[in-house]
Amino acid sequence: MKTQAEQVVWVQAVSYEDLAFNTGKTIRYQDEEVALFKLRSGKLQAIQNRCPHKEGVLAEGIVCDDHVFCPMHDRKIHLPSGLVQAPDTGCVKTYHTRVDDEGTIYIGFPTSEEMAC
Ligand code: FES
């Protein structure tokens, strides 16, 4: 069985201290775009940056607790799971994050195409 470290490439994103609370930050790696959030609790969440409805930029959305509201048509997305909340449907990919000893945030990008929401 592979470990998490063997299945992802860790990409340096931003300093934890420089990331504002409840404000999204767009992180790009190859052809993937991720919305990174630091919630009020201090927890990090990283999701696919494009809304499944009409590709609204989720890093520009409004964060409330552990959800983000798409800035285009207000769909509500649960950050830990990536699930669009009822009455709408759909999902976005979620990504692992980690913070090193210097306080730098890394996002884990999967090395295979298996990752789906
Ligand atoms: S593009 Fe996100 S709700 Fe329409």
| Domains in the chain, CATH or no CATH each | 4-110 (2.102.10.10)
pTM assigned to the model: 0.91
Q: Is the CB of 72 under 6 A from ligand 1?
A: yes
Query: Is 53's C-beta closer than 6 angstroms to any atom of ligand 1?
Result: yes
Q: What is the pLDDT of residue 111?
A: 86
User: Which residue owns the Cα nearest ligand 1 atom 4?
Assistant: 73
Q: Sheet holding 67-69: strands in order across? A: 62-64, 67-69, 76-78
Q: How far is CA 95 from CA 13, 37, 115, in A?
A: 12, 11, 9
Ligand 1 neighbour 76 (Cβ under 6 A): no
User: Residues 1-52: pLDDT tens digits?
Assistant: 445 446 899 999 999 999 999 999 999 999 999 999 999 999 999 999 999 9
- Residue 91 pLDDT > 50, yes or no? yes
The tokens of 87 are what?
């009455």
Does 108 have pLDDT greater than 60? yes
Backbone angles phi, psi at 4, to 5 degrees: -55, -40
How many whole angstroms from 65 Cα to the centroid of ligand 1? Answer: 19
